[in-house]
Structure formats: structure tokens, C-alpha cells
Amino acid sequence: RCVTLYQSEARQQAATWNPREERVYHCQFCRRKRARAMNGFREKRAVNFGPGPAKLSVDVLERAQRELYCFEDTGVSVLEMSHRSASYTEMNKATESALRRLLSIPNNYKVLFLQGGGTGQFSAVPLNLMRGENPVADYVVTGNWSNKAAVEAAKYLKVNHVFPKLSKFSTIPDQTEWSLTPGASYVYYCANETVHGVEFPFVPDTGDVPLVCDMSSNILTKEVDVSKFGVIVAGAQKNIGSAGVTVVIVREDLIGKAHPMCPIILDYKVNSDASSVYNTPPVYSVYIMKLVFEWIDQQGGAKVMGENNRAKSGLVYTTVEEFDDVFFPTVEKPYRSRLNATFRIGCAEGNVELEQKFVSEAAKQNMISLKGHRSVGGIRVSMFNAVTKDEVQQLVKFMREFAFQLRQQQPK
């Protein structure tokens, strides 16, 4: 019998009707029908190279679908769940515990699940960490996001750019060329710049000054030593979940000294003391993040993610270098991102017509979101954790065909 028939009969017997039971009841026929539908959905899904919100694993999506109508034995969807309920409290703790395991987070660090995205942390970081009457913070500006962070921080304290403004964001100056401020409140950098495709191949050494890192686009894409950082911030929507929740990992000794002007919703101590439920949290986003953490763990953790991401980006960059008369990388080799490969087509400055053709032809083969950021143009291939090696190989095959075709059209 299908669930619709069951509901009809149940309502006729109102005295014994159990809405919770109604939600979870499905006959064998319905389950088979749903399985066939899911196979069809898998075939229709595009190969998504989006820069964020980015692709989620199909395993995660299917589990979320199964649990959408009724989560476990609660009788309600996670979308309806109270953030004060025992079920959410348990989920919140499980999500934090999963992240702690995956990153081996030391006990002297707090884990917060906040709102406002990485952009909200542009203000939260200085307001929580600035110290002294004339506070100064060092900013390592290597792309769009670190630049925006520095502009926002300048509203609250003095910002020292550790090296002169770069003519273009295609490299990272050697740390021996940096001018760090003794006694600075903190040093801030973005580990992976998604717009320009620049990624740090090292963790800066800042001595006793707290190191703050925006890991929004490369958290859990490789192993990392959390103890080297004072604060790690990361929006979830690229590698670890859906849009709406931001992870903050902060060392305990940096908590509790927020500036008086700091809005209460950005205060790390307030949120830590309230276990990230000072106000209504993004319940469903936290739930999706929990599923993603469990999926990453099942795949082998951050170590395996790192191996996969090196392999995927290697396929793209090898193809770019092989067809160096067609594809022109925009970033110096040591600093090319494993997650966001950026290049131009036709020449170093880019041939807009060819790039539009590349994006259009790729879309016809069900590969989407390859257009570069609107501020820089070109092509951007985002290969976050859920993007598979097979999908990247499909793109590389298309890149090679496109390059061969372009070569044949060029005059000899």
C-alpha cells in the first residue's frame, strides 16, 4: 500500500491516527519507485564546477532527501526543528565532535557555528582580537577576499599591509619580504583566494602574534595543524556544507576580550558560552554540514581529500601546460590553487569570444559554472571536495578537444 492510502485510512480512524507514524510509513512499492526516481535524478545532474555554493556529494543529498520529511524519530523535519530541542542539541554536539576529529582540533580551542559568512568575520576578527589603545593588525593581501577583509578591518584599527600592493594577484611574495609589526594584535591572511586562484603553499610564521586564517575555500581539503593558528574562519558552502553557516575555530586565550563596540552576535565569548545557540542558528545548514563531515570521514578524512584534490588539479594544470598556445594560466606555478584553477584562452589577456565559446560548449556537455569571476573574467575551474576525479577527467577531455579544434582553425 502507498503512503497516501495509509494516510486516508488513518484519518478515518482518528482515534488511532499517529502523525509521526504517518510521516515515516512507506510501502515497498513506494521505496522502489523512489529508488528509480533517484537514479534518474543522478543522470540529470550537471557536472558542477561552481565556486560556491558548490557541489555537494550525491550521497549527502540523497541522505538529506530521505530524512527531509521526518528526521529520525522526531516526527518533524530538520527544517521545522527547534534549536532548543534535545534533538538539535545532540546534532550540534555531534557536528562539532565530527569536525574536531577530522581536524584533530586541540582541546584549548573552541568551535563555533555562526552566521554572516566569511564577510561577517571581516568585522568579527578585529572586534574580538584588537588590543591596546592604538591597535594594529597585519594583513597579507593576496587577492579579492583578503583585500576586502583589510578594508573592513581599517574601520576599527590601523591596518598594516605587510608588503606593497601587488600589480596583479598572481603570486605570493616570499615571507622574507614581509614587514610584520612587532606586537600586532594579529596577522590575517586568506589561505585560498577563489577569485584569482592563488593558494598559500605554506603557513606563515608569525611568532607569538596570533595568526588568523580565512579557510573558507580550502578547509578540510588537506591536513592542517590547527595549533599554528589563533583563529580559523570558514564559510561552509564550498567544501563542508551549504550556505548559511560559518565555522570559527578560536584559541581559548583569545576569547573574552572583545571591544565594547563589538555587536553581541559577533562576540566569540557570547557565542562560545551559548554553544553557538545564543540566537536561532541555521539549523538545516548545521545538519548538512554534519552529513558532509560524516561523508568526508567515510572517504578517509582530510588526508584523502588532500590526495584527491592534488590529483584533480594536476589533471587540469597538466592540460593547460600541454596546450600552452591555447590556455594561459593566470597564477605563478608555486601558488596555483588546488581548488580554483584559473586561466585565459587565446592569449595571456584572454580572448573573450573564445572564452565565451568554451563556457557555452562545455554547458552543452552538461558541465557548468566555468566562467571566471566577473571582476577578472577568463575561466575558473572550481574543484572542491565533492567534485570527483571522473568529472575532472570529463572536463580535461573537453579541454583537449577544444584545444585541438582551435589549433586546426589557426593559420599555419
Active site residues: 145, 214, 238
Angle at 142 between CA 253 and CA 223, to 5 degrees: 55
The rounded distance, in Å, linking the Cα atoms of 168 and 196 is 9
Contacts of 73 (CB under 8 A, 6+ apart): 20, 24
- CB neighbourhood size of 1 (10 A): 13
Q: Please, what sign has the CA dihedral across residues 157, 258, 246, 308?
A: positive
- CB neighbourhood size of 94 (10 A): 15
Contacts of 107 (CB under 8 A, 6+ apart): none
Residue 177, SS3 per DSSP: helix
Residue listed under C-alpha cell 528509480: 36
Output the CA torsion 294→296→297→299 (10° steps): 130
The rounded distance, in Å, linking the Cα atoms of 91 and 224 is 25
Q: Which residue type does 283 have?
A: V
The rounded distance, in Å, linking the Cα atoms of 297 and 99 is 10
Supply the DSSP string of 70-108, one letter for each residue: S-TTSSS-GGG--TTSHHHHHHHHHHHHHHHHHHT--TT
The rounded distance, in Å, linking the Cα atoms of 370 and 11 is 51
Angle at 281 between CA 279 and CA 283, to 5 degrees: 150
2: which DSSP letter?
-
